[in-house]
Amino acid sequence: MAKQDRAVRTRQELIRSAAVAFDRSGYALSSLTEISRGAGVSSGALHFHFSSKQALGMAVEESAARALADIVAVHARHHPAPLQHLVETSHVLARRLDEDVVLRAGFGLAADATWMEDVSLWRTWRSWVRTTLTSARREAALSPDVPIEDAVSAVTAAVVGAQALGRFDVEWSPEYALTQFWNLMLPRISAMVPTE
């Protein structure tokens, strides 16, 4: 059992080290030597777990996809206030992108021109946002004059932009930026409750 636990830990360390490398240098410029060194294992141990850098990239993406699935696990149909759920979940995602290098690298691979796989976590996030806004529309919480696809694009871009700017400007807080975005956006997309 100890051998299995060690193998699982080694695999996780390799995924994390690959994520750090991909996040810092991009997929093409990351080397297997750098990744194995970052995980504290030999190149033989790396090749025991992963046949190629592409296999490592796919493992990073799969791990990130599981993390995203956990973030969006509460389906909007099961939440009493879909728009509030959208706001809260966007903040959770922004915070996790800031803290979790594997999640961030998984999202980053979608924007990496040298990564040839078709999995895109941004498409998954965008689809979840669309589903949540559709639930809000069904429950009359979303203003009827708001085109859902416009709102989906704005929310997706806000989360992407807040995360990207936060990486390159230490004074830029993704959390603050999203709060400002929602302060501006929420009154525009929320259905007005008639007063009696």
Each residue's pLDDT tens digit, 2-57: 777 888 899 999 999 999 999 999 999 999 999 999 999 999 999 999 999 999 99
Q: SS3 for 26-38, per residue?
A: CCCCCCHHHHHHH
What's the confidence (pLDDT) of residue 195?
Answer: 45
Measure the CA–CA gap between 86 and 91, rounded to whole angstroms. 9
Tens-place pLDDT, residues 97-118 = 989 999 999 999 988 888 887 7
Q: Mean pLDDT across the stretch 66-78?
A: 80
Measure the CA–CA gap between 135 and 129, rounded to whole angstroms. 10
The architecture of the domain spanning 2-189 is Orthogonal Bundle (1.10)
How far apart, in Å, are the Cα atoms of 138 and each of 38, 79, 157, 170? 49, 13, 24, 40
Measure the CA–CA gap between 62 and 192, rounded to whole angstroms. 41
More confident residue, 14 or 80: 14
Mean pLDDT of the chain: 88
How far apart, in Å, are the Cα atoms of 118 and each of 43, 54, 129? 27, 12, 20
CA 16 to chain CA centroid, Å, is 15
Selection from 133, 176, 146 nearest residue 158 by Cα? 176
Residue spans of the domains in the chain: they are 2-189
Measure the CA–CA gap between 109 and 90, rounded to whole angstroms. 20
